[in-house]
Amino acid sequence: MRVHVIGLGGAGGRVVDRLAADHDGDPFLHGISAFDTDMEALGSLQSIGEERRYRFGDAAGGDGLDGDLHAGRELGEVHASELGRALDDQCPSLAEAFVLVLGVGGAAGGGAAPALAAELETLYDAPVYAIAVLPTPAESDADGEAGPGAEAGPAGGGGSGRGGDGGSTPRRPLAEKNAARTLGALSDRTAAVFPFDTDAWLGGGETIDDASDRLNGVLADRIAALFGAGEGDDDAITPQQVLDASDVARAVGDAGETAALGYATQEVEPPETESRFGLGLFGSSEPEKVDTSAAVSAVETVIRKATRGKNTVEMPEGRADRTLLVVGGPPAWLNREAIAEGRRWLAEETGSGAILSGDAPVPGGGEVFALVVRSGIDEPDRIREIRTSIPDRAE
């Protein structure tokens, strides 16, 4: 499906910058933009061209908002139409969905996202999805140390992303409260919310600054795997089960529910199609056969790892109302029986009443991958912790 991805605030901008570095030019990435109130944060982006970066909120003076979500909301409401117009040169009307990426603990992204989602929904007949990067508990801990560079990675998203000087980065005591309010607003204004639990993805003793590049890559990979599954070059091999925008919409719903992404890969040997003499094997251009047991094992392994491995957010008991499975890789490795069996296993594992699936052949690729999307899940503990930072959950 063709999507327009928008990074909002510092964290959102950095994730989308990594997406542009890895996937700009891929057919699924119809448009890509970065919006922020902080000129320095926008200037630090390396892969999104200046024409696709846009600073809004002159009232902020070109700096960040220091966690003031109320100010961010006001700027978002005032500038939503302006931000919508900033997309015009990328033909947003051709996008099949809009994806907002933001750190919900900050003010610029969290403030602007609900208003921009409402604006896009009004202008275009396409769903709006949110990738919500959650702050770590340390960021709001008044007694603990957030660690050096705690705002430099994808978490939070309120700061400019500038690292520290080896000491502790100033903490953001409002991060969890901002996140609680923003998650509630996103649930009201978007079709689905995909939280990313930054804290769960940090290794022991690892700071956000240490993990920044890796975590941005984790999110970029999953965004590309989900929205790129049904899009290929004109001369690409057609999937046997084509995944389109309506399948994604059916899987994640349209009521602002929480959804989780699981993803796994396994390296494989692509079948050889040419001999050392430059001719097809035995005079044929047909690829050599892949051992069936090896293909079955690879498919089963990635499906189970994507399901039971670390997801973008904790999966309580693995249950979900709806589930989407995408399996991709070199066509010869996409064993149909193994995929069908994996789908049956996934239905039992998740208890989902609806299992949708698609395949994503990658000619010449060197790995088999599986993406598992679960929607209508029980509230993860981390989301519950964030929501209870505001006892009455007032907006």
CB distance 247 to 358 below 8 Å: yes
pLDDT score for 239: 64
Residues 6+ apart with CB under 8 A from 155: 11, 103, 105, 133, 134, 135, 136, 139, 198, 199, 208, 215
pLDDT over 60 at 151, yes or no: no
pLDDT over 50 at 62, yes or no: yes
pLDDT score for 262: 97
pLDDT score for 115: 98
Instruction: Output 127 or 233, whichever has higher pLDDT.
Output: 127
335 is in an annotated binding site: no
What average pLDDT does the structure give for the chain? 86
pLDDT over 60 at 192, yes or no: yes
Q: What is the CA radius of gyration of the chain?
A: 21
pLDDT over 50 at 152, yes or no: no
pLDDT over 60 at 215, yes or no: yes
Q: Does domain 255-375 have CATH number 3.30.1330.20?
A: yes
**Could you tell me how many residues make up the chain?**
395
* Helix extents (H) in 124-207: 137-140, 175-189, 198-201
216 is in an annotated binding site: yes
Most confident of 150-159, 240-249, 267-276, 374-383: 374-383
**Mean pLDDT across the stretch 5-32?**
96
pLDDT score for 241: 72
**Mean pLDDT across the stretch 360-367?**
90
Q: Domain map of the chain by residue range?
A: 3-228, 255-375
pLDDT score for 392: 64
Looking at the DSSP bridge assignments, the partners of residue 128 are 98
pLDDT in tens, 344-355: 999 999 999 779
pLDDT over 50 at 63, yes or no: yes
pLDDT over 60 at 35, yes or no: yes
- The model's confidence at residue 205, banded by pLDDT at 50, 70 and 90, is confident
Looking at the DSSP bridge assignments, the partners of residue 97 are 3
Q: Do the domains at 3-228 and 255-375 have one common CATH topology?
A: no
pLDDT score for 281: 42
CATH code, 3-228:
3.40.50.1440
Q: In the chain, how long is the greatest CA-to-CA distance? A: 73
- The model's confidence at residue 315, banded by pLDDT at 50, 70 and 90, is confident
- Which segment of 51-65, 137-151, 189-203, 281-295 scores lowest on mean pLDDT? 137-151
- How does DSSP classify residue 377? P
pLDDT score for 157: 41
pLDDT score for 13: 98
User: Measured between alpha carbons, how far is residue 347 from residues 1, 75, 259 in Å?
Assistant: 24, 44, 16
pLDDT score for 368: 97
Q: Which of 306, 352, 355 is nearest to 329 (CA)?
A: 306
